[in-house]
Structure 1
Amino acid sequence: MRRFSVLVILIVCMPSLAAAVLSVHPKNPRYFADGSDRAIYLGGHQVFVDLQDNSFNKEFIRNRDRILDWDKYVEFLKANNFNYLRNWVIWSTGSGAMAPVNRAVAFPMPYKRVAGGGKAKDGKEKFDLDQFDDVFFQRMRKRCEDLEQAGVYVSIMLFEVYGFLGGEPVGDPPQTLWDGNVFNEANNINGVDVDYDGNGKGIEFFYTEDQRVLQLQKEYVKKILDTLNHLDNVFYEIANELYAPQWQYEMIEFIKRYEEAKPRQHLVLMSAGGRTRTGGWKQMDRDPVVNSPADCFAAAGSWQAGRYKKKDPPANDSGKPGIVDTDHGAAGSSDVGYVWSAFTRGYNFNLYDKPFENPDAEGPEWRRVRSNVGKTVEYANKLDLANVTPRDDLASTGFCLAKPGYQYVVYQPGDGPITVSDLRAGASYYFELYDTGQSKVVTSGRIQASGSTESFKSTCKGSVLYLNLSGSGESYP
């Protein structure tokens, strides 16, 4: 076994985005493409307040701020080397004006409030579902443009489900998120209400055959597509944690048809569901998601007998980019094992960052996991990503992303040695060992492979070995 003691400090810059709409890489469809030959891995972040303030009754967000300072948040993304943001669009102004304690309601909303129609349950003017609020769409446009300038891709969540559910009542008198939903008849002047069974939930919105509601859905989607079509860094997520596969398929096809005549055609993401017609939970199986008309997918933690939750996802051989999103399998976890197991099995990754909804959760473990996500983006940018594949057979740890003979990223969740095979005997390799616990490279240098297999001593529990054939186009410190 080899022991090394050379330490190298790396400085990483966010790459600028190429001038072409995000697409699926034609050669290695595990990843995305930007119009050039290079493949793109997405490693990113999500909060609930990236677009609308005061979402989901949150009194405070990270650092105990009342609302998100957008400019500082963009700098936060860049500082952590994130190149992806999962946007959230919230459909409820909150559980009445009683929550949070500053009596703020979610703002802006897609629809305009109008005078003369009475008061909504949040105490403000009711919404007109036939009038869009330009404040909402212009903020969305500007923030997506800011992200493009910062080198960050963004998926737009067209619909979220929790604002259509009851949830825990808040305030006096007690109200739920459904009480603040724009499709609750108490909050709009149009007489539209999707709580058809009167159970205090409006989840039927996603299962309805009401042509008026279906048309309102499509008009809203068209408005977003029109607002953002000029951007290359955007793609669309149909809904968060929704079942309703047929409705989602129809919406995917609607987006694709509508954009056919437009300058840009954007990708569509389907996430694993989800919420049923009654508000209960029925997990959508893998096949209806992966084999849907969508271009990419977000995995469920329960798929493959729970392997995603167990930090042992199967290699992504689906023919589409897959995203392991901790919102769907490990919400609230800061375990870096989710990051590296996903990366070395050919997935993109998105972090559900709990301190942004519960500032008391902030701590070193969250700073660590953010650094680890950024490190995957760095390694992805160093790899010939168009030609790497998950190759668990080439590493003793079972977690390996490789271009055999040339480049390897190997994850060791434990503290044992790391053995790598299919090397070029006699060739020189640059190596570095990254300590996931300390979030830093602890050892680096060059070796000459004595044979096709080499073993490396890991001095820490939880490490990543990066190997690159010297002279293969990589520039080193």
Structure 2
Amino acid sequence: MTDRVHRSPENPWYWSYDDAPVLLLGGTDKDNLFQWTGDRLHDHLDQLVEAGGNFVRNTLSERKEEDVSPFERDDDGTYDLREWNDSYWNRLSEFLDATAERDIVVELTPWDQHDFVGSRWEAHPWNPVNNDTLPEDALPATGGDHWQDRIAFFRTVEENNDIVLTHQERFIDEVLSYSLDSGNVIYNVTNEGWAGIEWELHWAEHVLDRAEERGVHVDIADMNMTPENSVRKVIEHPDTFSYVEVSQHNQHFAGASGQDHWDNLQTWRGDVQDAIGPRPFNNVKIYGGFDGGNDAAGDAEQAVRWFWRNVLAGCAACRFHRQVAEGDEGWGIGGSERALTHIQSVRMIEETVDLCSLTPRQDLLVDAAPNEAYCVAAPGDSYVVYFPTGGEVTLCLEDESYRLRYLDTETATWANDETTDAGTEILLTPPKNPNPVAVLTAES
């Protein structure tokens, strides 16, 4: 990577390398990808890059048996929050180097509430019963088995719990000692944040202060449990939060489907535009698993449709959430062959049109039913129309002749290449394949 990733000055809805807007796309099988090492990590990243991917998520979690902790452990199994475990930090360093070498942007999330729930908390290094650093009453338990019941850990700022906050800040400073040197990293304070604005601002400002001391610029957001709150907080704190993380919009529990999914994005983009000007919208998690057994997440068909609506709605970053793992529920399709094929399909469209320069134009679809088709265009030059479930629509055009092709996004292959007669309307009738996309480019 030749430059730090930053908001594009040319088109600030998107990210940039060297001031060229770039669409970030990803799909990986693990949220805390840095915990993988060697060929396992490198092969996974190479498969993503080969498909055209350039975006990954990385939480600093240690949930699985194969994961390692940032803290050293004594012979009796007790953690010492004052001593670092070199294995953890070596993994983080290797991961940051491997992604930078491949020009992959990392959305780094230091805090994830799901790491502090139930049996995870019982074995967690931060739990005072498992370390010799914190007093037993430093993080009083409130009972229950939901992650919000571990509220004490996420109230250290609000409650001025300096005993724990000192170690939290020391941990974040160590993370930043590695990541601030990596120009391919943007930051998201918390996964599905609920702890409140004091917590969010504290850690965002802490990262920004350390970056300023290092003489570098970084971008940071906070993903809230509800996407509306993510949007609102960027509008209310534009000097702190520089992009919008709306991942929770891509699932059933807090999100939306169909036409509402698209319309919400356009409403939020309008709100941000009016209040503070364009900012990137990221989706580091697009839910929807292969087994379809997770009602909150949805199924793989919905994952693909969320992905394409996000891409055409003007979102800057879109990543398929992790695949189902042993003992896990079906949350996403991750780095599967299907996910990588859809990423490849987007890149094929980008070889034909400047996708980042197109704008949503539903008004050009004369007779589209709700959720039948979605259009982005630079009228008179290029048009892209996505059909989630097939159908046919009339597209209004500038009076030119156009090259019309349909893309089978499930196989990443073009079909039906033809030149249209000059005119102001065309009836688009895509092949009866799932998720087809029509692409029209002016012949003149």
Name the TM-score, length of structure 1 as normaliser.
0.75
Q: Which residue of structure 1 aligns with residue 342 of structure 2?
A: 372
The percent of aligned pairs where both chains have the same amino acid is: 19
Q: Which residue of 2 aligns with 1:469?
A: 442
CA distance in structure 2 between the partners assigned to 1:30 and 1:388 by the alignment = 11
Deviation string 1:137-179 (CA, Å, 9 cap, x unpaired) is 221121121112223111111111112111xxxxxxxxx1111
Q: Tell me the equivalent position of 1:42.
A: 24
For 2:133, the equivalent position in structure 1 comes to 190
Alpha-carbon distance in 2 for matches of 1:364, 1:154: 15
* SS at structure 1 position matched to 2:257: coil
> In 1, Cα distance between the equivalents of 2:82 and 2:312?
47
**Alignment-mate amino acid for residue 113 of structure 1:** R
User: Once the two structures are superposed, what CA deviation does each residue of 1:176-220 show, in whole Å capped at 9, x if it has no partner?
Assistant: 111111111121110255541452653321112201222222222
The answer as to whether partners of 2:26 and 2:53 remain within 8 angstroms in 1 is yes
Within a 5 Å distance, the mapping from 1:269-348 to structure 2 comes to 269-273=221-225, 284=229, 286-288=231-233, 291-292=236-237, 293-299=240-246, 300-301=248-249, 308-310=256-258, 312-314=261-263, 315=266, 316-317=269-270, 318=272, 319-324=278-283, 325-327=285-287, 331=297, 333-335=299-301, 336-347=304-315, 348=317
Amino acid paired to 2:310: A
Amino acid at match of 1:223: E
Partner of 1:459: 431
1:241 pairs with 2:188: no
Task: Please state if 1:351 is matched with 2:320.
Answer: yes
Ranked by relative contact order (alpha carbons within 8 Å, sequence separation 6 or more), the top structure is 1
Q: Displacement, 1:455?
A: 2.3
For 2:213 and 2:334, the matched residues in 1 are separated by 49
Which one of 6, 12, 33 corresponds to residue 29 of structure 1? 12
The residue identity in structure 1 corresponding to 2:415 is: T
Aligned to 1:14: none
Of 328-337 and 134-143, the range deviating more from structure 2: 328-337
Is 1:393 matched with 2:363?
Answer: yes
d(CA) in 2 for partners of 1:334, 1:240: 22
Query: Alpha-carbon deviation of 1:91?
Result: 4.7
* Partner amino acid, structure 2, of 1:331: A
Q: CA RMSD in A?
A: 3.4
CA apart distance, 1:262? 1.8
Q: Which digits, 9 at most, give the CA deviation of each residue in 1:116-138, with x for residues without a partner? A: xxx3xxxxx22211122232222
Aligned to 1:250: 202
Q: Deviations over 1:332-355 (max 9, x none)?
A: 631211111111111131211323
Letter in 2 for 1:320: R
* Secondary structure, aligned partner of 1:400: strand
Matches within 5 A, 1:93-132: 105-115=65-75, 119=76, 125-132=77-84
Q: Distance in 2 between matches of 1:387 and 1:25?
A: 12
Asked whether the equivalents of residues 6 and 17 of structure 2 are also in contact (C-alpha less than 8 Å), the reply is yes
Q: Secondary structure at the match of 1:354?
A: coil
CA distance in 2, matches of 1:468, 1:69: 41
Q: CA deviation at 1:29?
A: 2.3
For residue 416 of structure 1, what is the amino acid of its counterpart?
A: G
Normalised by the length of structure 2, the TM-score is 0.80
Aligned to 1:100: none
AA partner of residue 43 (structure 2): K
Alignment of 1:419-438 (within 5 A): 419-423=394-398, 425-427=399-401, 429-436=402-409, 438=410
Matched, 1:72 2:43: yes
Letter in 2 for 1:109: S
What is the letter of the counterpart of residue 170 of structure 2?
E
Counterpart in the other structure of 2:379: 404
Letter in 2 for 1:39: P
Where does structure 1 lack aligned partners over 5 or more consecutive residues?
A: 1-16, 55-66, 95-104, 120-124, 167-175, 275-281, 472-477
The counterpart of 1:226, out of the listed 177, 193, 204, is 177
What's 1:440 paired with?
412
> Which protein is richer in helix relative to its size?
2
Q: Distance in 1 between matches of 2:296 and 2:53?
A: 19
Report how far residue 411 of structure 1 moved.
0.6
**1:367-425 Cα deviation digits (max 9, x unpaired):** 334311332244346543453222221234551222222222211123222433233x2
